[in-house]
Amino acid sequence: MKIAVMPGDGVGREVTAQAVKVLKAIVGNQLPLELIEAPVGGAGIDAAGDPLPASSLEIAKKADAILFGAAGMPGDEAIPYAMRPGASLLRLRKELGLFANFRPAFLFPELIGASTLKPEVVEGLDLMILRELTGDIYFGEPRGIRITASGEREGFNTMRYTESEVERIAHVAFRTARLRRGKVCSVDKANVLETSQLWREVVTRVGTAYPDVELTHAFVDAAAMMLMRAPKQFDVIVTGSIFGDILSDAAAMLTGSIGMLPSASLAGNSKGLYEPVHGTAPDIAGRSIANPIAAILSMGMMLRYSFGRIEDANRVEAAVRKVLADGYRTADIYQPGSKRLGTAEMGDAVVAAVMR
């Protein structure tokens, strides 16, 4: 198993270390494990003057899978785009063709009280946001800030999707739904945007090849509302990059903490990049209080999707469940009466649960 480890910045470093610790405990000496650490984000700038150093990209390209922490720094947006730490992740996704981003939102029964929503609204929640990751307004050209004829500055970006890009992600959505509850909701803004109009048309056409899967469409504003009002109606939500970015943070909060949610970004073969949905969290970085569970579960997704090690992946998830059932909590999911742990202590608790 050849794995590129890219902890990045902020809490990314703290949580990735825990995921690696649990990975080593799970794999033990069953398999040769080759872990190659490579700097990205602010760490890449420090090491090589580039948020995605050529050597790091090379390591990522050669690896079977990438464990990613988080990249970015406060004030990022003031740095030119190409040098921006947060943008290194976007380049990495694009360079590796990681177009299918799986962002599950599920509620651990032990954490039902941690959600800000009423228990009956979120109990049993299990949905998958499938976010297209290499197109959309994130990558569309032209983009920039220019001076208009009247001499004022104007910012502009371009939302674009080609038919083949939509087809490709739609197939992934329908196939994913077949392994779940057989429902796809495609989210767009087809009442306003041509890009979305084409998106909807293509998803509908692809859907005819999957008559066993129920396909619905929703506008993104309505989808956001439905996510808050009755999230359990969703199984798979498929959407473009920007809508998926926003909806996945919202969906994360249904489960109590964004610190719990893993993600996988796949290229259509077994190669994948695995990262927590959360970012660098500069406000709590360096204090050893970040929740490593999202990173640990991301590593579990890696075992499942890139290495086909289903049993090991199940062991990771079971260990997390056990730790939660034992009442251990990081600060973000702390409730009176539970036992508060720091980042590394939570990692140790998961390792201990794996070994039990």
Determine the size of the site formed for Mg ion (CB under 5 A): 1
Q: CB of residue 213 vs Mg ion: minimum separation in angstroms?
A: 27
256 Ramachandran zone, left/alpha/beta (phi>0; psi -120 to 50): left
Out of 76, 189, 235, 328, pick the active-site residue: 189
How many other β-carbons are positioned within 10 Å of the β-carbon of residue 283?
9
Listed in sequence order, the residues at least 6 apart from 213 whose beta carbon sits closer than 8 Å to its beta carbon are: 174, 177, 178, 182, 183, 184, 207
Binding segment toward ligand IPM, per CB under 6 A, in 85-93, 195-203, 213-221, 302-310: 85-93
Out of 245, 271, 312, 328, pick the active-site residue: 245
Q: CB of residue 72 vs ligand IPM: minimum separation in angstroms?
A: 6
Among candidate residues 261, 243, 244, the one with its CA nearest the CA of residue 252: 261
Determine the size of the site formed for ligand IPM (CB under 6 A): 6
Kindly tell me which residue out of 51, 272, 279, 292 binds ligand IPM, with binding defined by CB under 6 A.
Answer: 279
Contact 105, 122 (CB under 8 A): no
Kindly tell me which residue out of 110, 165, 245, 312 binds Mg ion, with binding defined by CB under 5 A.
Answer: 245
Listed in sequence order, the residues at least 6 apart from 141 whose beta carbon sits closer than 8 Å to its beta carbon are: 158
- The pair of three-digit structure tokens given for residue 223, joined into one six-digit string: 């989808």
Binding segment toward Mg ion, per CB under 5 A, in 18-26, 201-209, 238-246, 330-338: 238-246
Strand partners, 36: 4
Out of 64, 126, 249, 348, pick the active-site residue: 249
Q: CB of residue 280 vs ligand IPM: minimum separation in angstroms?
A: 8
Q: CB of residue 21 vs ligand IPM: minimum separation in angstroms?
A: 23
Q: Is 43 in the site for ligand IPM (CB under 6 A)?
A: no
Q: Residue 189 catalytic?
A: yes
Task: Say which entry of Mg ion, ligand IPM, none residue 89 contacts (CB below 5 to 8 A, set by partner kind).
Answer: ligand IPM
What radius of gyration do the chain's Cα atoms show? 20
Phi, psi of 129 (to 5 degrees): -90, 120
Listed in sequence order, the residues at least 6 apart from 212 whose beta carbon sits closer than 8 Å to its beta carbon are: 178, 182
How many other β-carbons are positioned within 10 Å of the β-carbon of residue 330?
22
Of the two residues 90 and 350, which places its CB atom closer to ligand IPM in the complex? 90
Of the two residues 25 and 96, which places its CB atom closer to ligand IPM in the complex? 96
Contact footprint for ligand IPM (CB under 6 A): 72, 86, 89-90, 245, 279
Active site residues per annotation: 138, 189, 221, 245, 249
Contact footprint for Mg ion (CB under 5 A): 245
